[in-house]
Structure 1
Amino acid sequence: MKLALVISSMATGGAERVLSILANSWVQRGWDVTLITTHGSGEPSFFFLDPEVHQRSIVIAGSARGGMVANIRRVRALRTILRETAPDVVVSFLNYTNILTLLASKGLGCPVLVSERLDPRVHELSPLWNAMRRLLYPQARVLINQTEAAASWFRPWMKGRVVIIPNPVSEPDLAGPPALELPPGSVVAMGRLHHQKGFDTLLRATALLRERHPSIRLTILGEGPLRAELEKLREELELDDVVDMPGKIQNPATVLAQAEVFVLSSVTEGFPNVLCEAMAVGLPVVSTRCPSGPEEIVTDGREGRLVPVGDTESLAGALAEILADPESRRVMGEAAREVIDRFSLEVVLGKWDAVFKMIELGTEGLN
């Protein structure tokens, strides 16, 4: 099998992490895999890639959202690479890249799978890009979504060619010293410092939580454009001695394993990898019921608690409830570990294999 995998970049991020896992798994089968970045900078992938993965980078200034001339050049460069590599199947990740890939592959005769990684009900495109998506996506052989909630939006105009494939969850790597040491009784959150992650709500919830648990400590792993704003809010809430924001780290499992509970305060998600990573180390979780993903991963009261988006008091209350009950934490943590079996790499690869087989056989009605 010859595959061409297309994504904007291989910087840190959930989609990038998943694509690196898939690429490595497929080359280990002996498949010929080329990974193409449409907005390359020449920098190496943040995530490990097997040396057998062929990497091609299109280095053109400008973002996908703007710059028509730059995007035309990207489409032409991508088309050239696809002609050279002649893949059996093209797999594209992320909405803007999906649109460029469908344009670049038009008339080449290679089937294209496009994978949406965000919930389109929340992450709206501009009128132009949305029109292009509606026009071009039906030309894809299959649309891959991570959750039923997101897939339901696409089904009416994809004529049933929608498949749900979650992200893989692996056994955590706890070997070696931890990237940093956490104080006892810690709560951990992780993600890009961005409005989407709702860390402002989490900081306010932590201020409330400290009234009930004076010894509470929160560590937020990640980096992003809101660092200065969040640090200012931390100071205003007098949480400088409570909340640590050490940035992004490699192998966060070694840090997660030291915590008492993991919290996801997001406003929206696609399929929250960090939630699954925390559950894989046996942590009970508190998550918002954000669209989409958490409600398809966590059952309220079993692996943790689900609370409304933006509800500071509910978030603080759920954290206080779990922190106050060691036995509940233990039982929820054991249930959380089952995420490894539910979304194992073998299970996820099997779903991709089924899609490849359907394409080979020309099967329709993939949902």
Structure 2
Amino acid sequence: MKILFVISTLGFGGAERVCSLLSSRFAKDFEVCIAKFDKSEPFYELNSDIRLVNLDFGVGEKGFLGNIKKRFGKIFLLRKFIKDEKFDCVISFMDSTNILVLMATRSLKIPIFVSEHTSFELVKDKIWDKLKRIFYPRANGLSVLTHDDYRYYKKFVKNVNVIYNPFFGEQKAVLQKQNLVLFAGRLIKLKGCDLFLKAIFKLDKKLIDSWEFAVAGSGESERELKNLAKELGIKVKFLGNVKNIDEIYKKSKILVSSSYVEGLGNTLIEAIYYECARISSKTSGGCELIRDEFDGLLFEVGNSNQLSQKLGTLMQSDEKITQITKNAKLKIAEFDIETIYQKWLNMLKNGGFE
């Protein structure tokens, strides 16, 4: 059986990471191909049995008319590729690619499954919301990351399934904990790294002097954030994109996710395995993964004062860090790749893929 995964790029990012890991697991049992729309090398490792195809159409902005031409070009190119290759199933990642795939496969008798990796609250604009309501019901199945997303999409899509992101890393790591607080993620406004920096600034100076702070990731806001750190007079290491992020997790005692909107942050899952105490804003993803004061700490979205207070509490208590990380491990089996894989197989079966 031939399965096609479609994603815009395979660069540094949460959805890209999940696609890489999930497709690699499928490749153990099926003939798997990944189609993407650029020529860049994958950031994450893939199963060597996977066939990677670059349907190079570019992913940058080309102006209004250029973007329209580019999207229609992608639709026709993708449709021809799927028909010629005679795939038995197509799995798409990310909203814009999902809609493109559903448009390209209209009237083709192939099961199509789409995967959402952002919160339903992050609606680009009314046009995108309408496009989802028009095209998503045509999918044979939809995977979402939280129960909030499930309740939203269930109103107009039949086969909706809550499937968490799988863990991506060492199952049994040797930890070497230091007084280190980590922020990991793309450096864009939605991820709220500015809140993290402001929260550090508001900590007691004696506490700051006995800890280190690191930011792993890159993005369009990187220069702005580095300037903010300088303006605040705080010492923060900006590490850029880190392929061996597990080495940073092993040293970190605390992981901060300060997003304004978040589906299901991979960092909050990875932190469980590496015994990092988690602090998250009350996004749908944060609330899905953390029970406040039990297996992590939650703060109001956009509230750097509250984040600073919660962060300071943890930094002053190794005992609290130990208890929170111990409680977090009670849910560890939910993120095992085999557990996630079986949920995907069940969704595909319920959607007509045999």
Change in CA separation of 1:277 and 1:348 when aligned onto 2, cut-off 3 Å = same
Note if 1:333 corresponds to 2:330.
Answer: no
1:207–1:237 CA contact under 8 A, matched in 2: yes
RMSD of the TM alignment (CA)?
2.1
Match of 1:61 among 51, 58, 62: 58
| Partner deviation per Cα, 1:158-204 (whole Å, 9 max, x = no partner) | 2x32111111125526779x9xx99x411111011110111111111
Deviation at 1:25, TM superposition (A): 0.6
SS for the counterpart of 1:209 is coil
Q: How far apart in 1 are the matches of 2:239 and 2:288?
A: 30
| Partner deviation per Cα, 1:329-359 (whole Å, 9 max, x = no partner) | 1111222234431211111111011112223
SS for the counterpart of 1:124 is coil
* Amino acid across the alignment from 1:21: L
Match of 2:159 among 153, 158, 161: 161
Match of 1:50 among 47, 50, 68: 47
Q: How far apart in 1 are the matches of 2:253 and 2:148?
A: 30
Q: How far apart in 2 are the matches of 1:157 and 1:212?
A: 54
Matched with 1:219 is 214
1:78–1:104 CA contact under 8 A, matched in 2: yes
Match of 1:196 among 190, 193, 200: 190
| Partner deviation per Cα, 1:60-88 (whole Å, 9 max, x = no partner) | 13548951111111001101110122122
1:281–1:337 CA contact under 8 A, matched in 2: no
Deviation at 1:126, TM superposition (A): 3.2
1:212–1:320 CA contact under 8 A, matched in 2: no
Q: How far apart in 1 are the matches of 2:336 and 2:293?
A: 23
Matched with 2:129 is 130
Change in CA separation of 1:154 and 1:94 when aligned onto 2, cut-off 3 Å = same
Change in CA separation of 1:64 and 1:90 when aligned onto 2, cut-off 3 Å = farther
Matched with 1:84 is 84
Deviation at 1:285, TM superposition (A): 1.0
Deviation at 1:109, TM superposition (A): 0.5
What does 1:1-367 correspond to in 2, within 5 Å?
1-29=1-29, 31-37=30-36, 39-40=37-38, 42-63=39-60, 67-121=67-121, 123-158=122-157, 160-170=158-168, 172=170, 184-211=178-205, 213=207, 214-239=209-234, 242-290=235-283, 292-360=284-352
SS for the counterpart of 1:346 is helix
The normalised TM-score by structure 2 is: 0.93
SS for the counterpart of 2:279 is strand
Higher mean alpha-carbon deviation, 161-170 vs 185-194, is at 161-170
* Amino acid across the alignment from 1:277: E
| Partner deviation per Cα, 1:250-299 (whole Å, 9 max, x = no partner) | 12111111112111111111110011111211111111112x21111111
Deviation at 1:130, TM superposition (A): 2.9
* Amino acid across the alignment from 1:185: N
* Amino acid across the alignment from 2:217: G
Q: How far apart in 2 are the matches of 1:361 and 1:324?
A: 53
1:287–1:306 CA contact under 8 A, matched in 2: yes
Between the two proteins, the alignment pairs up a number of residues equal to 350
1:76–1:104 CA contact under 8 A, matched in 2: yes
2:297–2:310 CA contact under 8 A, matched in 1: yes
* Amino acid across the alignment from 1:230: L
Deviation at 1:311, TM superposition (A): 1.1
Q: How far apart in 2 are the matches of 1:11 and 1:61?
A: 14
The normalised TM-score by structure 1 is: 0.90
Matched with 1:365 is none
